[in-house]
A and B are shown apart, each in its own frame.
Chain A
Amino acid sequence: MNEELFISGREVPHIDPYLNIWHWPIGLYLFLGGLAAGILFFSSLYTILGREKELPTAVKWATFVVPVALVLGLLALFVDLKHQLYFWRLYTTIRLESPMSWGAWTLMAITPLSFIWAAGYLREAFPSWDWKFEILKKFENWVQNNRLPLAWIMVVLAVILGIYTGILLSAFNARPLWNTSLLGPLFLVSGLSTGAATIMWMSKNELEQSLFRRLDLLLIVIELFFIVHLFMGFLAGSEVKIEAAKLFLGGQFTVSFWVFVVLIGLVLPAILEILEMRGKKIPVSIPALCILFGGLMFRLIMIEAGQITRYLY
Chain B
Amino acid sequence: MRYAMAIDTKKCVGCGDCVVACQIENNVPTGYCRDWVTESVVGTYPQLELELRSERCNHCENAPCVRCCPTGASHIVEGGVVLVTPEMCIGCGACIESCPYDARYSHPDGHVDKCTFCIHRVREGKQPACVSVCPTKCMYFGDLDDPNSEITQLLEKRKWKVLAPEAGTKPHVYYLI
A7 to B94, CA, bound (A): 27
Q: Which range contains the number of A residues in contact with the other chain?
A: 35 or more
A283 interface residue per 8 A CB criterion: no
Q: Which among B120-128, B150-158, B160-168 touches the partner chain? A: B160-168
Do B98 and A174 touch (CB < 8 A)? yes
B135 interface residue per 8 A CB criterion: no
A104 to B90, CA, bound (A): 12
Do B19 and A8 touch (CB < 8 A)? yes
Do B102 and A19 touch (CB < 8 A)? yes
B16 interface residue per 8 A CB criterion: yes
Residues of chain A within 8 A (CB-CB) of B92 are 80-82, 100
- Pick from B39, B64, B94, B110: contact of A173, CB below 8 A: B64
Contact with A along B32-62 (1 / 0, CB 8 A): 1101111111111000000010000000000
Nearest A residue to B33 via CB reads A10
A9 to B166, CA, bound (A): 27
A1-51 contacts to B, CB under 8 A, are 1-16, 19, 21-22
Do B90 and A307 touch (CB < 8 A)? no
A103 to B94, CA, bound (A): 12
Do B70 and A98 touch (CB < 8 A)? yes
Residues of chain A within 8 A (CB-CB) of B110 are 82-86
B87 interface residue per 8 A CB criterion: yes
Nearest A residue to B110 via CB reads A83
Q: Which range contains the number of B residues in contact with the other chain?
A: 35 or more
B146 interface residue per 8 A CB criterion: no
Do B97 and A19 touch (CB < 8 A)? yes
B68 interface residue per 8 A CB criterion: yes
**A83 in contact with B64 given A10-B36, A12-B105 (CB within 8 Å):** no
A227 interface residue per 8 A CB criterion: no
Residues of chain A within 8 A (CB-CB) of B14 are 7-8
- Pick from A7, A14, A95: contact of B106, CB below 8 A: A14
Do A174 and B99 touch (CB < 8 A)? yes
Do A6 and B90 touch (CB < 8 A)? no
Nearest B residue to A239 via CB reads B166
- Pick from A16, A82, A86: contact of B87, CB below 8 A: A86
A7 to B37, CA, bound (A): 6
B80 interface residue per 8 A CB criterion: no
B111 interface residue per 8 A CB criterion: yes
A84 to B19, CA, bound (A): 30
A93 to B52, CA, bound (A): 41
A1 to B163, CA, bound (A): 21
Do A98 and B97 touch (CB < 8 A)? no
- Pick from B40, B42, B97, B102: contact of A172, CB below 8 A: B97
Do A90 and B167 touch (CB < 8 A)? no
A83 to B69, CA, bound (A): 14
A89 to B88, CA, bound (A): 6
A74 to B43, CA, bound (A): 50
A171 interface residue per 8 A CB criterion: yes
Do B38 and A7 touch (CB < 8 A)? yes
- Pick from A83, A92, A173: contact of B100, CB below 8 A: A173
Nearest A residue to B87 via CB reads A86
A7 to B55, CA, bound (A): 11
B67 interface residue per 8 A CB criterion: yes
A307 to B164, CA, bound (A): 17
Nearest A residue to B109 via CB reads A83
Nearest A residue to B111 via CB reads A83
A11 to B44, CA, bound (A): 28
A311 interface residue per 8 A CB criterion: yes
A56 interface residue per 8 A CB criterion: no
- Pick from A11, A15, A80, A238: contact of B102, CB below 8 A: A15
Residues of A near any B CB (own CB < 8 A):
1-16, 19, 21-22, 80-87, 89-90, 92-93, 95, 97-101, 103-104, 171-175, 238, 307, 310-313
| 11 sample A-B contacts, Cβ–Cβ < 8 Å, listed by A number | A8-B37, A13-B31, A13-B32, A16-B102, A81-B92, A86-B71, A92-B71, A101-B71, A173-B169, A313-B163, A313-B164
